[in-house]
Amino acid sequence: MTSGAKLFYAVGTFLASATVLYILATIYLKDSANLIGLEWAGATGLVMSTLLAFMLAGYLHLTDNKTDISPADWEEAEIEDGAGVLGFFSASSIWPFVMTVAIVLLGAGIAWWHYWLIVMGAVILIWAATMLNLQYGAPPEKH
């Protein structure tokens, strides 16, 4: 088991105990308004945080059992051994800028509550995302 899995199991255990303590404290302690009962926002947040920590711990635990030894465990490993494939990044594509403009239009439409601006931003965003994904589907001479 990797140190990441152990760390998230420890965080999940701490959050589980804090959740139980928080629920018991909010049920039985009175505040200045003399209200008794569970405080749902904090309890829900703690329960969801506990589940997230245990989910990440389980994922790291299961993937550790299925993978080979990582370069961090080698004594003679170099930095580039753990780099992996970074992927292909287009150097001169206009579509990320068009997507940014579309998101700005969409956000401005939501902020000012103009339906025509929301629709225009959404249409441009869908079009730009499609073109970004399809820009290398054509042969280079058609770019």
Per-residue pLDDT reduced to its tens digit, 104-134: 999 999 999 999 999 999 999 999 999 988 8
Q: Element (H or E) spanning 96, and its range?
A: helix 95-112
Q: Name residue 143's amino acid.
A: H
Residue 126: half-sphere exposure toward Cβ, Cα within 13 Å: 5
Report yes or no: 2 and 47 within 8 Å, Cβ to Cβ. Answer: no
- Position 138 scores a pLDDT of 67
**pLDDT at residue 143 tops 60:** no
pTM: 0.53
